[in-house]
Amino acid sequence: MLIFGDNLQVLKTLLQMKEKGKLKNADGTPGVRLICIDPPFATKQEFRGSQDQKAYQDKIAGARFLEFLRKRLVFLRELLSKDGNIYVHLDWKKGHYVKVLMDEVFKEENFVNEIIWWYRDPSGAVKDAFMKKHDVVLFYAKNNGGHIFNLDEVRIPYKEGTIKQAESGTTSFGRIVKVHPLGRLPEDVWQIAIINSQAFERTGYPTQKPEAILERIIKASSNPGDLVMDCFAGSGTTCAVSEKLNRRWIGVDCGKLAIYTMQKRLLNIADSKDLENPKLVPSGSKMGKKYGKQCKPFTLYNAGLYDYSMVMLNYDFNGEVFDLDEVFYAEDLKKNDYEVRFDEDKVKGQMMIIYIDIFGNEKREIKTIKDFRK
Protein backbone atom coordinates (compact mmCIF):
# COMPACT_ATOMS: atom_id res chain seq x y z
CA MET A 1 0.00 0.00 0.00
CA LEU A 2 1.56 3.26 -1.18
CA ILE A 3 -0.16 6.34 0.23
CA PHE A 4 0.31 9.96 -0.82
CA GLY A 5 -0.67 12.35 1.96
CA ASP A 6 -0.09 13.77 5.44
CA ASN A 7 1.19 10.86 7.51
CA LEU A 8 -0.56 12.01 10.67
CA GLN A 9 -3.96 11.74 9.00
CA VAL A 10 -2.96 8.46 7.36
CA LEU A 11 -1.91 6.99 10.72
CA LYS A 12 -5.31 7.84 12.17
CA THR A 13 -7.01 5.98 9.32
CA LEU A 14 -4.68 2.99 9.65
CA LEU A 15 -5.44 2.80 13.37
CA GLN A 16 -9.14 2.65 12.56
CA MET A 17 -8.37 -0.18 10.15
CA LYS A 18 -6.52 -2.05 12.90
CA GLU A 19 -9.43 -1.58 15.28
CA LYS A 20 -11.79 -3.00 12.63
CA GLY A 21 -9.56 -6.03 12.09
CA LYS A 22 -8.42 -4.92 8.63
CA LEU A 23 -4.72 -4.58 9.45
CA LYS A 24 -3.25 -8.00 10.14
CA ASN A 25 -0.01 -9.92 9.75
CA ALA A 26 0.27 -13.25 7.97
CA ASP A 27 -0.38 -15.16 11.20
CA GLY A 28 -3.51 -13.12 11.95
CA THR A 29 -1.93 -10.90 14.60
CA PRO A 30 -3.53 -7.44 14.38
CA GLY A 31 -1.36 -4.38 13.78
CA VAL A 32 1.93 -3.68 12.06
CA ARG A 33 4.78 -6.01 12.97
CA LEU A 34 7.61 -3.63 12.15
CA ILE A 35 7.87 0.12 11.75
CA CYS A 36 10.99 1.70 10.26
CA ILE A 37 11.14 5.48 9.92
CA ASP A 38 13.78 7.95 8.85
CA PRO A 39 12.08 11.24 9.78
CA PRO A 40 13.42 14.76 9.10
CA PHE A 41 16.38 15.66 11.31
CA ALA A 42 15.41 19.32 11.98
CA THR A 43 18.23 20.50 9.71
CA LYS A 44 16.35 23.66 8.59
CA GLN A 45 17.22 22.75 4.98
CA GLU A 46 15.35 22.22 1.75
CA PHE A 47 16.27 18.97 0.00
CA ARG A 48 16.27 18.40 -3.75
CA GLY A 49 16.70 15.40 -6.01
CA SER A 50 19.74 14.70 -8.17
CA GLN A 51 18.17 16.68 -11.03
CA ASP A 52 17.31 19.62 -8.73
CA GLN A 53 13.71 18.46 -8.25
CA LYS A 54 12.01 19.69 -5.11
CA ALA A 55 11.92 16.76 -2.67
CA TYR A 56 11.00 17.98 0.81
CA GLN A 57 11.55 20.75 3.33
CA ASP A 58 13.06 20.03 6.73
CA LYS A 59 12.23 23.38 8.32
CA ILE A 60 10.58 22.36 11.60
CA ALA A 61 13.08 22.68 14.46
CA GLY A 62 13.39 22.86 18.24
CA ALA A 63 10.36 22.07 20.37
CA ARG A 64 8.09 22.14 17.31
CA PHE A 65 10.11 19.33 15.75
CA LEU A 66 9.82 17.18 18.87
CA GLU A 67 6.07 17.80 19.13
CA PHE A 68 5.68 17.02 15.41
CA LEU A 69 7.41 13.68 15.96
CA ARG A 70 5.72 12.91 19.29
CA LYS A 71 2.22 13.08 17.76
CA ARG A 72 3.22 10.52 15.17
CA LEU A 73 5.04 8.25 17.61
CA VAL A 74 1.89 7.96 19.74
CA PHE A 75 -0.06 6.62 16.76
CA LEU A 76 2.82 4.39 15.70
CA ARG A 77 2.89 2.80 19.15
CA GLU A 78 -0.81 1.98 18.90
CA LEU A 79 -0.40 0.60 15.37
CA LEU A 80 2.27 -1.91 16.40
CA SER A 81 1.30 -5.50 17.01
CA LYS A 82 1.78 -6.82 20.55
CA ASP A 83 5.13 -8.36 19.55
CA GLY A 84 6.12 -5.59 17.15
CA ASN A 85 9.20 -3.37 16.93
CA ILE A 86 10.02 0.16 15.82
CA TYR A 87 13.34 1.51 14.51
CA VAL A 88 13.90 5.26 14.23
CA HIS A 89 16.84 6.51 12.15
CA LEU A 90 18.37 9.81 13.27
CA ASP A 91 21.65 11.67 13.22
CA TRP A 92 24.03 12.44 16.08
CA LYS A 93 22.49 15.91 16.58
CA LYS A 94 18.92 14.80 17.38
CA GLY A 95 19.29 11.21 18.54
CA HIS A 96 19.50 12.03 22.25
CA TYR A 97 16.45 14.32 22.14
CA VAL A 98 14.34 11.68 20.44
CA LYS A 99 15.65 8.98 22.81
CA VAL A 100 14.06 10.85 25.71
CA LEU A 101 10.87 11.30 23.69
CA MET A 102 10.68 7.61 22.85
CA ASP A 103 11.32 6.65 26.47
CA GLU A 104 8.18 8.63 27.27
CA VAL A 105 6.01 7.25 24.45
CA PHE A 106 7.21 3.63 24.32
CA LYS A 107 8.47 3.41 27.94
CA GLU A 108 12.11 3.17 28.87
CA GLU A 109 11.92 -0.53 29.69
CA ASN A 110 11.02 -1.24 26.05
CA PHE A 111 14.25 0.28 24.76
CA VAL A 112 16.28 -2.49 23.11
CA ASN A 113 19.27 -0.98 21.31
CA GLU A 114 20.96 2.18 20.17
CA ILE A 115 22.47 1.08 16.87
CA ILE A 116 25.37 3.03 15.43
CA TRP A 117 25.61 3.13 11.66
CA TRP A 118 29.26 3.84 10.95
CA TYR A 119 30.22 4.62 7.37
CA ARG A 120 33.53 5.31 5.68
CA ASP A 121 33.36 8.52 3.70
CA PRO A 122 36.47 10.39 2.56
CA SER A 123 34.57 13.62 1.96
CA GLY A 124 34.73 16.53 4.37
CA ALA A 125 37.53 18.12 6.34
CA VAL A 126 37.65 19.54 9.85
CA LYS A 127 40.32 21.40 11.80
CA ASP A 128 38.84 21.63 15.27
CA ALA A 129 36.83 18.42 15.79
CA PHE A 130 36.67 14.71 15.00
CA MET A 131 35.13 13.67 11.68
CA LYS A 132 31.40 13.00 11.99
CA LYS A 133 30.79 9.67 10.25
CA HIS A 134 27.85 7.96 11.93
CA ASP A 135 24.07 7.98 12.37
CA VAL A 136 22.02 6.36 15.11
CA VAL A 137 19.04 4.01 14.95
CA LEU A 138 16.87 3.71 18.06
CA PHE A 139 15.29 0.27 18.45
CA TYR A 140 12.24 -0.14 20.73
CA ALA A 141 9.87 -3.06 21.20
CA LYS A 142 6.17 -2.81 21.93
CA ASN A 143 6.83 -5.29 24.74
CA ASN A 144 10.51 -5.91 25.44
CA GLY A 145 11.13 -9.61 25.96
CA GLY A 146 8.01 -10.55 24.01
CA HIS A 147 9.07 -9.09 20.69
CA ILE A 148 10.21 -10.76 17.49
CA PHE A 149 13.96 -11.01 17.01
CA ASN A 150 15.28 -13.52 14.49
CA LEU A 151 18.86 -13.85 15.66
CA ASP A 152 19.97 -16.46 13.15
CA GLU A 153 18.66 -14.36 10.25
CA VAL A 154 21.16 -11.60 10.98
CA ARG A 155 24.27 -13.48 12.06
CA ILE A 156 27.40 -12.20 10.38
CA PRO A 157 29.42 -14.86 8.51
CA TYR A 158 32.90 -15.51 9.81
CA LYS A 159 35.86 -14.73 7.65
CA GLU A 160 37.05 -17.61 5.53
CA GLY A 161 38.84 -20.23 7.59
CA THR A 162 37.70 -18.92 10.99
CA ILE A 163 35.54 -21.96 11.84
CA LYS A 164 38.34 -24.37 10.98
CA GLN A 165 40.78 -22.29 13.03
CA ALA A 166 38.40 -22.27 15.98
CA GLU A 167 37.93 -26.02 15.81
CA SER A 168 41.69 -26.52 15.84
CA GLY A 169 42.21 -23.96 18.59
CA THR A 170 44.38 -21.69 16.45
CA THR A 171 42.04 -18.72 16.06
CA SER A 172 43.68 -15.34 16.58
CA PHE A 173 40.76 -13.48 18.15
CA GLY A 174 40.55 -15.23 21.48
CA ARG A 175 39.18 -18.40 22.95
CA ILE A 176 35.93 -19.58 21.31
CA VAL A 177 33.84 -22.10 23.17
CA LYS A 178 31.36 -22.68 20.38
CA VAL A 179 31.27 -21.40 16.82
CA HIS A 180 27.85 -21.10 15.19
CA PRO A 181 27.78 -22.33 11.57
CA LEU A 182 25.75 -19.31 10.46
CA GLY A 183 28.21 -16.78 11.84
CA ARG A 184 28.94 -14.57 14.79
CA LEU A 185 26.47 -12.59 16.87
CA PRO A 186 25.52 -9.21 15.45
CA GLU A 187 26.63 -6.13 17.36
CA ASP A 188 25.14 -2.68 17.76
CA VAL A 189 27.78 -0.98 15.59
CA TRP A 190 27.14 -1.56 11.88
CA GLN A 191 29.79 -0.72 9.33
CA ILE A 192 27.79 -0.32 6.14
CA ALA A 193 28.97 1.68 3.16
CA ILE A 194 27.06 4.74 2.04
CA ILE A 195 25.46 4.57 -1.41
CA ASN A 196 27.98 5.62 -4.03
CA SER A 197 27.03 7.57 -7.13
CA GLN A 198 27.16 4.49 -9.39
CA ALA A 199 25.24 2.09 -7.14
CA PHE A 200 22.36 0.25 -8.80
CA GLU A 201 20.08 1.01 -5.86
CA ARG A 202 20.61 4.78 -6.08
CA THR A 203 17.40 6.60 -7.04
CA GLY A 204 18.58 10.21 -7.02
CA TYR A 205 16.29 11.01 -4.08
CA PRO A 206 18.11 12.98 -1.34
CA THR A 207 19.02 11.38 2.02
CA GLN A 208 18.47 7.86 0.62
CA LYS A 209 19.74 5.15 2.99
CA PRO A 210 21.46 1.87 1.99
CA GLU A 211 19.29 -1.19 1.51
CA ALA A 212 21.73 -3.19 3.65
CA ILE A 213 20.57 -1.34 6.78
CA LEU A 214 16.91 -2.08 6.16
CA GLU A 215 17.64 -5.64 5.14
CA ARG A 216 19.21 -6.38 8.52
CA ILE A 217 16.38 -4.68 10.40
CA ILE A 218 13.58 -6.36 8.44
CA LYS A 219 15.13 -9.83 8.67
CA ALA A 220 15.66 -9.44 12.42
CA SER A 221 12.29 -8.01 13.40
CA SER A 222 9.69 -9.47 11.04
CA ASN A 223 8.76 -12.67 9.24
CA PRO A 224 7.64 -13.31 5.65
CA GLY A 225 4.09 -12.07 5.14
CA ASP A 226 4.30 -9.59 8.02
CA LEU A 227 3.32 -5.94 7.69
CA VAL A 228 6.22 -3.47 7.55
CA MET A 229 5.49 0.25 7.55
CA ASP A 230 7.41 3.45 6.84
CA CYS A 231 5.43 6.69 7.17
CA PHE A 232 8.40 8.85 6.08
CA ALA A 233 9.00 6.64 3.07
CA GLY A 234 11.07 9.02 0.92
CA SER A 235 12.97 7.03 -1.70
CA GLY A 236 11.16 3.83 -0.68
CA THR A 237 14.06 1.80 0.71
CA THR A 238 11.90 0.21 3.43
CA CYS A 239 9.20 -0.74 0.92
CA ALA A 240 11.66 -2.02 -1.68
CA VAL A 241 13.56 -4.23 0.76
CA SER A 242 10.29 -5.49 2.25
CA GLU A 243 9.10 -6.44 -1.23
CA LYS A 244 12.32 -8.33 -1.91
CA LEU A 245 12.06 -10.16 1.41
CA ASN A 246 8.42 -11.17 0.85
CA ARG A 247 6.94 -8.86 3.46
CA ARG A 248 3.80 -6.82 2.91
CA TRP A 249 4.43 -3.11 3.24
CA ILE A 250 2.83 0.30 3.74
CA GLY A 251 4.68 3.39 2.54
CA VAL A 252 3.47 6.93 3.25
CA ASP A 253 4.86 10.25 2.05
CA CYS A 254 3.51 13.72 1.34
CA GLY A 255 5.97 14.51 -1.48
CA LYS A 256 5.10 13.79 -5.09
CA LEU A 257 8.74 13.19 -6.01
CA ALA A 258 8.88 10.54 -3.29
CA ILE A 259 5.75 8.82 -4.62
CA TYR A 260 7.00 8.83 -8.21
CA THR A 261 10.42 7.57 -7.09
CA MET A 262 8.92 4.73 -5.04
CA GLN A 263 6.55 3.58 -7.77
CA LYS A 264 9.36 3.32 -10.29
CA ARG A 265 11.64 1.57 -7.81
CA LEU A 266 9.03 -0.96 -6.76
CA LEU A 267 7.88 -1.74 -10.29
CA ASN A 268 11.48 -2.38 -11.31
CA ILE A 269 12.01 -5.07 -8.67
CA ALA A 270 12.27 -8.44 -10.39
CA ASP A 271 9.20 -10.61 -9.76
CA SER A 272 7.56 -7.84 -7.72
CA LYS A 273 3.83 -7.91 -7.26
CA ASP A 274 1.81 -5.59 -9.47
CA LEU A 275 1.02 -2.27 -7.87
CA GLU A 276 -2.62 -1.31 -8.00
CA ASN A 277 -3.13 1.18 -10.83
CA PRO A 278 0.52 2.19 -11.31
CA LYS A 279 0.59 5.65 -12.81
CA LEU A 280 3.46 8.01 -12.01
CA VAL A 281 7.01 6.71 -12.08
CA PRO A 282 10.19 8.80 -12.54
CA SER A 283 13.61 7.98 -13.88
CA GLY A 284 14.99 11.51 -13.49
CA SER A 285 16.63 13.68 -16.15
CA LYS A 286 18.06 17.13 -16.72
CA MET A 287 15.34 19.70 -16.17
CA GLY A 288 14.75 22.86 -18.10
CA LYS A 289 17.40 21.89 -20.65
CA LYS A 290 17.48 23.90 -23.89
CA TYR A 291 17.66 21.94 -27.15
CA GLY A 292 18.23 24.79 -29.64
CA LYS A 293 17.03 24.10 -33.19
CA GLN A 294 15.58 20.71 -32.28
CA CYS A 295 13.11 22.20 -29.79
CA LYS A 296 9.44 21.40 -30.34
CA PRO A 297 7.21 23.91 -28.47
CA PHE A 298 3.68 23.47 -27.22
CA THR A 299 1.46 25.84 -25.28
CA LEU A 300 -0.03 24.81 -21.96
CA TYR A 301 -3.68 23.88 -21.82
CA ASN A 302 -6.07 26.66 -20.93
CA ALA A 303 -6.45 26.51 -17.15
CA GLY A 304 -4.85 29.63 -15.77
CA LEU A 305 -1.17 29.77 -16.63
CA TYR A 306 -0.05 31.32 -13.36
CA ASP A 307 -1.45 28.42 -11.34
CA TYR A 308 1.00 25.86 -12.76
CA SER A 309 3.36 24.10 -10.38
CA MET A 310 5.04 21.81 -12.92
CA VAL A 311 4.74 20.03 -16.24
CA MET A 312 6.15 16.51 -16.58
CA LEU A 313 6.96 14.65 -19.79
CA ASN A 314 7.33 10.96 -20.61
CA TYR A 315 8.74 10.71 -24.12
CA ASP A 316 8.04 6.99 -24.70
CA PHE A 317 4.81 6.32 -22.80
CA ASN A 318 4.00 2.59 -22.94
CA GLY A 319 0.29 3.01 -22.32
CA GLU A 320 0.47 1.85 -18.69
CA VAL A 321 3.21 3.39 -16.54
CA PHE A 322 4.25 7.04 -16.61
CA ASP A 323 8.07 7.12 -16.59
CA LEU A 324 9.25 10.69 -15.95
CA ASP A 325 11.86 11.88 -18.43
CA GLU A 326 11.76 15.63 -17.92
CA VAL A 327 10.07 18.13 -15.63
CA PHE A 328 9.60 21.89 -15.90
CA TYR A 329 8.81 23.92 -12.78
CA ALA A 330 6.88 27.18 -12.49
CA GLU A 331 9.99 29.35 -12.75
CA ASP A 332 11.02 27.59 -15.99
CA LEU A 333 7.53 27.97 -17.45
CA LYS A 334 7.32 31.67 -16.64
CA LYS A 335 10.80 32.29 -18.01
CA ASN A 336 9.83 30.74 -21.37
CA ASP A 337 6.49 32.55 -21.64
CA TYR A 338 4.67 29.33 -20.70
CA GLU A 339 6.03 27.34 -23.60
CA VAL A 340 7.58 23.93 -22.97
CA ARG A 341 10.30 22.99 -25.44
CA PHE A 342 11.61 19.47 -25.98
CA ASP A 343 13.71 17.49 -28.45
CA GLU A 344 11.23 15.78 -30.78
CA ASP A 345 13.77 13.05 -31.57
CA LYS A 346 13.26 11.79 -28.02
CA VAL A 347 9.62 10.96 -28.67
CA LYS A 348 9.21 7.27 -29.44
CA GLY A 349 5.64 6.64 -30.51
CA GLN A 350 3.47 8.45 -28.00
CA MET A 351 4.31 10.79 -25.13
CA MET A 352 2.37 11.59 -21.98
CA ILE A 353 2.18 15.09 -20.55
CA ILE A 354 1.11 15.68 -16.95
CA TYR A 355 0.18 19.19 -15.83
CA ILE A 356 0.07 19.89 -12.08
CA ASP A 357 -1.25 23.11 -10.58
CA ILE A 358 -0.39 24.70 -7.25
CA PHE A 359 -3.32 22.92 -5.60
CA GLY A 360 -2.06 19.47 -6.61
CA ASN A 361 -4.68 18.94 -9.34
CA GLU A 362 -3.51 16.98 -12.39
CA LYS A 363 -4.42 16.88 -16.04
CA ARG A 364 -2.97 14.28 -18.44
CA GLU A 365 -2.62 14.21 -22.19
CA ILE A 366 -1.22 11.61 -24.58
CA LYS A 367 0.19 13.00 -27.82
CA THR A 368 2.36 12.05 -30.79
CA ILE A 369 4.60 14.32 -32.83
CA LYS A 370 1.88 14.45 -35.48
CA ASP A 371 -0.46 16.07 -32.97
CA PHE A 372 1.95 19.01 -32.62
CA ARG A 373 2.16 19.48 -36.38
CA LYS A 374 -1.58 19.88 -36.87
Whether 240 and 271 share a structural domain: yes
Distance CA 18, CA 80 (A): 9
> What percent of the chain stands above pLDDT 90?
39
Examine the fold and report which residue of 223, 251, 278 is the final residue of a domain before the chain moves on.
Answer: 278
Mean pLDDT value of segment 58-82: 86
pLDDT higher at 252 or 339: 252
Whether 123 and 272 share a structural domain: yes
Whether 366 and 233 share a structural domain: no
| Angle, CA 68 vertex, CA 64 and CA 70 arms, to 5° | 115
Predicted confidence at residue 294, as pLDDT, reads: 37
Range of the domain at 320: 285-373
- Over residues 197-230, the pLDDT tens digits come to 778 888 778 778 999 999 999 999 999 999 999 9
Number of domains the chain is built from: 2
Residue 126, SS3 per DSSP: coil
Predicted confidence at residue 169, as pLDDT, reads: 58
Cα of 96 vs its chain's centroid, Å: 23
pTM of the model: 0.70
Mean pLDDT value of segment 69-81: 95
Distance CA 242, CA 214 (A): 8
Tell me the average pLDDT of the chain: 80
- pLDDT band of residue 79 (cuts 50, 70, 90) is very high
Distance CA 232, CA 253 (A): 6
Task: Please state which of the ranges 53-57, 143-147, 318-322 shows the lowest mean pLDDT.
Answer: 53-57
Task: Please state which of the ranges 111-115, 184-188, 279-283 shows the lowest mean pLDDT.
Answer: 279-283
Whether 82 and 197 share a structural domain: yes
Smallest CA-to-CA distance from 41 within 6, 7, 92 is with 92
